[in-house]
Amino acid sequence: MYDVNVTTTYTGEYQINNGPWTPIPGTITAQADPSQSDIWRTCSAAVSGDCEHSAQWGCGEAFNGSPPHIFTTNGWCEETGRC
């Protein structure tokens, strides 16, 4: 098991009546509660830009096949029905 700390930073844009996208100034950062996870699979690649479809690397499902241990022990599988 490995300690996991996740921080997510959100930015935003808005559009009115199909006009241009306008950035919303600033960001919001959310810190998740520290947790533990086992490493099920690793894969890395340099990516940039937005996901155009779920088949692109890093845009689809988080895993395929048997889920990592943490998902089967914390109720995630039962809550989402995705295992």
Residue 65 has pLDDT above 60, yes or no: no
Enumerate residues 6+ apart whose C-beta is below 8 A from 28. 9, 10
φ, ψ at 78 (rounded to 5°):
-70, -40
Question: Read out DSSP for the chain?
Answer: -EEE--EEEEEEEE-STT---EEEEEEEEEEPPPEEE-----------S--SSTTSTTTS-S--SSPPHHHHHSSHHHHH---
Please tell me the total count of domains within the chain. Answer: 1
Give the domain range for residue 28: 2-80
Query: pLDDT of 9-35, one tens digit each?
Result: 998 999 999 899 999 999 999 998 998
**81 Cα distance to chain centroid:** 18
Q: Flag whether the pTM goes above 0.85.
A: no
